[in-house]
Copies of this chain bind each other. A is one copy, B any other.
Amino acid sequence: MSPRPNVSDERKAQILNAAEQVFNKKGFDLARMDDIADKTGLSKGTLYLYFKSKDDLIIAILERIFQGVFRQLERREGDELSATEAVSQFTEAAIRDYKRMLHIIPVAYEFLALAFRNKTVQKALKQYFRHYMDVLVPMIQRGIDSGEFRQVDPQEVAIAAGAIYEGTVLLWVYDSTLIDMERHIRSSIRLLLEGIQVPA
């Protein structure tokens, strides 16, 4: 048996949590390994027992975030609902996601800037977006087939919806006093849906 219990997983999570907070507060570059060490209550040397570099730490954080988002996206449901209701439920799930992720938004935008310079990041974003489209496009297509929606291009509608989700978060960053993320995502999607519904 080991002379000491294996604490590797706890330590890693503990370090990632601290690092996430520090990165959010200061940004990648201004975040010091010493800051993260202080936050965990461990020493800097110990960080390097569990992560071999600062980059390694960042990558691990981003992976953890994307894993969460993918899990959420993959939970498809509501095939028995009307297309409007299905999109609305999807929207509610998206809102829950965004609210859960509010605290890592600063890192997320730094990550976006990085996308222009890093192939791996580009791939992750592309994959995330395709996932999203794979869920939403068929949902809209079903609405068209059932006569609930007009003859629109389902991909264009899905892109409009995606733009509304992501864009509302951005507007909220611009001015959080004027934008209520939850309310405005909901109202914008409602306007979009009303535009494609076949009048009763």
A195/B191 contact (C-beta < 8 A), A113-B106, A126-B175, A171-B129 known? yes
A153/B192 contact (C-beta < 8 A), A130-B175, A159-B179 known? no
CB distance from A22 to the nearest CB of B (A): 12
Q: Is A110 an interface residue (CB 8 A)?
A: yes
**A128's closest neighbor in chain B, by CB?**
B174
What is the bound-complex CA distance between A130 and B115, given in angstroms? 29
Instruction: Contact check, A115 vs B167: say whether CB atoms are below 8 A apart.
Output: no
A187/B153 contact (C-beta < 8 A), A113-B106, A167-B166, A171-B162 known? yes
CB distance from A94 to the nearest CB of B (A): 12
Task: Give residues of chain A (153-175) contacting chain B, Cβ–Cβ below 8 Å.
Answer: 153, 156-157, 159-160, 162-168, 170-171, 173-175
Copies in the complex: 2
Q: Is A81 an interface residue (CB 8 A)?
A: no
Q: Is A29 an interface residue (CB 8 A)?
A: yes
Q: Is A60 an interface residue (CB 8 A)?
A: no
Tell me how many residues of A have a C-beta within 8 Å of chain B: 54
Q: Is A64 an interface residue (CB 8 A)?
A: no
What is the bound-complex CA distance between A179 and B132, given in angstroms? 14
Task: Give residues of chain A (64-118) contacting chain B, Cβ–Cβ below 8 Å.
Answer: 105-107, 109-110, 112-117
Q: Is A194 an interface residue (CB 8 A)?
A: yes
What is the bound-complex CA distance between A178 and B156, given in angstroms? 11
CB distance from A128 to the nearest CB of B (A): 7
Q: Other than A29-B29, A106-B117, A167-B167, give 12 A-B pairs with Cβ distance below 8 A.
A: A27-B117, A110-B113, A112-B112, A125-B175, A126-B175, A129-B171, A159-B187, A160-B191, A160-B192, A163-B167, A164-B164, A167-B168
Instruction: Name 9 A/B residue pairs within 8 A (Cβ), A-sorted.
Output: A109-B109, A109-B110, A130-B175, A152-B191, A157-B191, A159-B188, A162-B167, A163-B168, A163-B188
